[in-house]
Structure 1
């Protein structure tokens, strides 16, 4: 059994494929890739690695298709093409000489293979020894040794040096414990010309001496001729050296530019991940979370289009939530699209990805047409999808939705590192959606508990049933009229629900008394404000709700300082408490009491008008008036 550990970089297969497309266009590459358990997007991704078994299967199939016993070595030589090893080629050339390139062969080889250890030793100016020792448990094949030979030849060719010889005195497949190679090459054009210049200069000087002896009167002609010959060769050598130097400088610049570009990509991806993590924690609504993620995807990544679909509450269908890059017509189509999750045999990529919890990368939709339903094909045609990635949005083992991107305009190839990046983003989204669900659930539980507490007080007296809820509604209406933030609205609403909770300590005989209260009884009732504060402080409100005990306790304070329990006045009274004070007074006047009938709204507002600036905040009174009028118009 071959080890399934991944040992060989996708660049190796990519070079084979490029070579085959150029020299053997009739070979069915796609079939060979699929039969070897590979995917084309994995081959296109320089960050992907394959196992020994996959490499063996692929090579066996393409070698059979070409019927070329030297295929491995020829593919190795083909790596000398700049376009076929990209950044690595420029990196090697930036070392300026083959000797320097072979000196870091172990580092360079680690970008291609993890199956063996490479060691090099310089034997001369133009000669090196390379020893390749396989790692334990790795079982390479003879064709891989041939491929190495071709690659070593490619290194020499990349520098435009002339290969002299590659000797292979020791080989794993001849019974040795390692593969040993001795590579030698001829010098570059400039070094050859430099040696020729020295020979010409020596010859010119050698000939100049007898010339003076035989023609002493014409020595200056001889000197001029020798100097001219040496100068011409010097110019030729300098030109060759300058040409090589410019080429090396261009290579170094290209290498630097490519590395800077890669650093920029890595930085942008890291920044995106950070920004998504920071942004989604500030959102309290799942649609806001999704919209923020989509905004960041559009700003930070180079995909033409993107969208997020979420499962509905019943997990019966996927719903389009937000996206970018689509036309108005495509947006309408997406919003009306139906991705039924109940159809377990559905062939739609989104539905399959959702159920199987696996990402899908498709660079040519034609390649998977046979596996798609007619409905899915129609969807792809309608939005013009050619290549795309879709990733499941997960939290632990639960599927929550789908994140999808594609390149319709640029048609830029998508690779597995795109999948890895998007899966990381999808994970952030999944965690955020789950946390939002927990927060929403706890918020509902919290509000339900508050309502139960409020109702428990109102229930003591049937005549005041629903009082706290009505006060809370009026208070929220005032906040809306004043244009206060939603957070303030929530604080006021909850404080209003609990504003009378201290009445739990007021005896029924006083609380339910049908007639007017005595001075002493009224004093007992007044204690409920401070008792409200004392009880609510035990709930340990936090964050924006921290001030609720003081707000609820201050709803009987008056602008002129005549209220209770602390006798606060003016701005010293929390603004939220001033809102509840007006709402409480108005609701009490307009509701039935044992000792009177409810007052009309107009009569209640007359009493509020008299108390403006004395007992009540004028701005709050006018806001309540506007709210009740607007509600009357709506009714």
Structure 2
């Protein structure tokens, strides 16, 4: 070693330093690769466990944005029948459905050609559509867009990430590889979620058709099942039901009168009040609903539908039918359905009477607490915004609420309206007077 010159020693030191640096870089790359592998595995588990289409699209969006350290991400799904790309996910610009022609812009090019695109500045590419940037004030620079392919290698969607937050704001080769892996995982699960979504739509259409079939037997009560369902969901919102609870309530409400298929038409559509024997006959629809629904196959989280649908004529004081159940022995959703059913019956024309004045209907609901109705459900119903109740009541007659009325009604709950009505005009504020006058005018305009 002593025979070496200082220059040769310096060269050996530099060589060793270079080798050490390379070894350190390789070690760091291995550590980084392991970290990325761990991240991808965790994301793969999350994606593979989600079968709800909307939730899956949100998850893919969030995972891609986080993994690639992008400012924004949009996941587009290809709708071949309509020739469009659509998305309900657009981080940073709200959650609303976007639909574009499937050959429009960068995403459209990727969808139609199957090519991946990575450009440092989108404005330098003539295929980029600047309209969204103009509308939102956003400035798209770096853009990485990749197709999602199913097992047959057909493009079924596109993942697009914008503006990398670090490393000069550009997406590199490693980003492309990461997005390719993520897109492959996402595409496999997207295909499953689309199949689940199709089955759900088919189930929904069958339930809604069954409900409409019953309503169609009597033109006077047409739309009853749908309106009862909408009122039930308003109460569910006040009670903070989760989505599974809302789904159970919705299907139960849609099918609650299905037993009327066994009620004689002469009784169902009779003008004037029913005789005692006719009233007893029409009461049998509740038991029949329950019996028919028990024969239907429902998935595990919907198997309570027959019990709930069969409880909508029970009363909390035990004087209802068919089981004379009382209090908490009546399913909560049955109690909710009970008030929705009565409210709709009183606010719409029947063979034996015209709609009741809205203030009288609300007085009945209030006075029947602890007798017919659960006070908790009454309070929740009275907490619903007037705009939501009014929209359901008048939809068939006037369609969408006038914008000015909607703005007024949104500021008040149904209980506020009832309180203002009972106080009288002299004790109402200017806003309350307008609320009362407009709601009653719209309510009465249906006839």
1:275-299, CA deviations, whole angstroms, 9 ceiling, x for partnerless residues? 255147447454x544433433344
Tell me, yes or no, if the aligned pair for 1:318 and 1:339 is still in contact at 8 Å: yes
Tell me which of 591, 611, 621 is aligned to 2:368. 611
| 1:557 alignment partner in structure 2 | 314
With over 3 angstroms needed to count, the CA separation of the structure-2 counterparts of 1:592 and 1:270, relative to structure 1, is: same
Q: 1:492 Cα shift? A: 1.9
Q: Secondary structure at the match of 1:563?
A: coil
Q: 1:449 Cα shift? A: 1.7
Q: 1:400 Cα shift? A: 1.9
Residues 220-369 of structure 1 mapped to structure 2, 5 A cutoff: 255=23, 258-259=26-27, 261-279=29-47, 281-282=49-50, 284=52, 286=54, 288-301=55-68, 303=69, 305=71, 307-308=73-74, 310=76, 314-316=82-84, 321-322=89-90, 341-342=102-103, 350-361=107-118
With over 3 angstroms needed to count, the CA separation of the structure-2 counterparts of 1:549 and 1:274, relative to structure 1, is: same
Task: Give the paired residue count.
Answer: 375
Tell me which of 213, 228, 234 is aligned to 1:477. 234
Q: 1:305 Cα shift? A: 4.7
Task: Say whether residues 1:390 and 2:145 are aligned partners.
Answer: yes
1:182-204, CA deviations, whole angstroms, 9 ceiling, x for partnerless residues? xxxxxxx38x89xxxxxxxxxxx
Aligned mates of 1:542, 1:616 — CA distance in 2: 30
Q: 1:501 Cα shift? A: 0.9
| 1:587 alignment partner in structure 2 | 344
Tell me, yes or no, if the aligned pair for 1:297 and 1:306 is still in contact at 8 Å: no
Tell me, yes or no, if the aligned pair for 2:122 and 2:140 is still in contact at 8 Å: no
With over 3 angstroms needed to count, the CA separation of the structure-2 counterparts of 1:255 and 1:379, relative to structure 1, is: farther
Aligned mates of 1:556, 1:619 — CA distance in 2: 17
Tell me, yes or no, if the aligned pair for 1:475 and 1:493 is still in contact at 8 Å: yes
Q: Secondary structure at the match of 1:322?
A: coil
Aligned mates of 1:456, 1:377 — CA distance in 2: 48
Residues 71-470 of structure 1 mapped to structure 2, 5 A cutoff: 189=1, 255=23, 258-259=26-27, 261-279=29-47, 281-282=49-50, 284=52, 286=54, 288-301=55-68, 303=69, 305=71, 307-308=73-74, 310=76, 314-316=82-84, 321-322=89-90, 341-342=102-103, 350-361=107-118, 373=126, 383=139, 385=141, 389-395=144-150, 396=152, 397-404=154-161, 407=164, 409-411=166-168, 416=173, 418-470=175-227
Identify which of structures 1 and 2 has the higher relative contact order when contacts are C-alpha pairs closer than 8 Å and 6+ apart.
2
Task: Say whether residues 1:621 and 2:389 are aligned partners.
Answer: no
Q: Secondary structure at the match of 1:310?
A: strand
Q: 1:319 Cα shift? A: 7.3
Residues 492-531 of structure 1 mapped to structure 2, 5 A cutoff: 492-531=249-288
What are the ranges of 5 or more consecutive residues in structure 2 without an aligned counterpart?
Answer: 391-404, 407-441, 443-447
1:499-557, CA deviations, whole angstroms, 9 ceiling, x for partnerless residues? 11112222334333445445444443333222211211222122432221111011111
Superposition TM-score, scaled by structure 2 size: 0.68
Tell me which of 234, 238, 245 is aligned to 1:488. 245
Tell me, yes or no, if the aligned pair for 2:47 and 2:185 is still in contact at 8 Å: no
Superposition TM-score, scaled by structure 1 size: 0.50
Q: 1:580 Cα shift? A: 0.6
Q: Secondary structure at the match of 1:393?
A: strand
Alignment RMSD: 4.3
1:233-292, CA deviations, whole angstroms, 9 ceiling, x for partnerless residues? xxxxxxx9xx99xx9899679747743542343333342343255147447454x54443
Q: 1:457 Cα shift? A: 1.7
With over 3 angstroms needed to count, the CA separation of the structure-2 counterparts of 1:270 and 1:538, relative to structure 1, is: farther
Q: 1:569 Cα shift? A: 1.5
